[in-house]
Amino acid sequence: MKAIILKTILFITACCMLIACGTKENEATAHEEHHDEEGSVELSQVQFTRAGIELGKIEMKNLSSTISVNGVLDAPPQNMVSVSALMGGFIKSTDLLQGMRVKKGQVIATLQNTDFIEIQTQYLESIQKLKFLELEYKRQEELSKENVASAKTFQQVSSDYNSLQATIGGLEEKLKVLNIDPSTLTKSTIRSIVNIYSPINGYVTTVNVNIGRFVNPQDVICEIVDTEHLHAELTVFEKDISKLKIGQKLRFVLVNESGKERTASIYLINHQISPERTIRVHAHIDKEDPNLMPNMYLKALIEVGENNKTTALPEQAIVNAGGKSYIFIKDDGHGHEHTEEKHAEGEAPHAEGFAFRAIEVTKGITENGFTEVFLPEGFEIDHAEVVIKGAYDLLAKMNNSEEEGHSH
Q: What confidence score (pLDDT) does residue 364 get?
A: 84
279 φ/ψ angles, rounded to the nearest 5 degrees: -125, 160
The yes-or-no verdict on residue 161 having pLDDT over 70 is: yes
The yes-or-no verdict on residue 148 having pLDDT over 90 is: no
* Range in 53-62, 67-76, 154-163, 220-229 with the lowest mean pLDDT: 154-163
| Residues 215, 262 contacting (CB under 8 angstroms) | no
The yes-or-no verdict on residue 402 having pLDDT over 70 is: no
How sure is the predictor about 204, in pLDDT bands with cuts at 50, 70 and 90? Answer: very high
The yes-or-no verdict on residue 190 having pLDDT over 50 is: yes
Q: What is the pTM of this model?
A: 0.54
| Residues 247, 281 contacting (CB under 8 angstroms) | no
If you average pLDDT over residues 34-44, what whole number do you get?
A: 67
Starting at the edge strand found earlier in the chain, the sheet holding 193-197 runs 193-197, 107-112, 89-94, 214-215
CB burial string 242-260: b at 16+ within 10 A, e below: eebeeebbbbbbbeeeeee
Give Cβ neighbours of residue 208 (< 8 Å, ≥ 6 apart). Answer: 219, 220, 221, 222
Q: What confidence score (pLDDT) does residue 376 get?
A: 92
Give Cβ neighbours of residue 333 (< 8 Å, ≥ 6 apart). Answer: none
If you average pLDDT over residues 124-143, what whole number do you get?
A: 85
How sure is the predictor about 347, in pLDDT bands with cuts at 50, 70 and 90? Answer: very low
246 φ/ψ angles, rounded to the nearest 5 degrees: -65, 135
If you average pLDDT over residues 238-256, what whole number do you get?
A: 90
The yes-or-no verdict on residue 32 having pLDDT over 50 is: no
What's the CA dihedral at 39, 44, 49, 54 to 10 degrees?
30
353-367 and 40-44 beta bridge pairing? antiparallel
The span from the CA of 327 to the CA of 316, in Å, is 10
* Range in 149-153, 283-287, 395-399 with the lowest mean pLDDT: 149-153
The yes-or-no verdict on residue 353 having pLDDT over 90 is: no
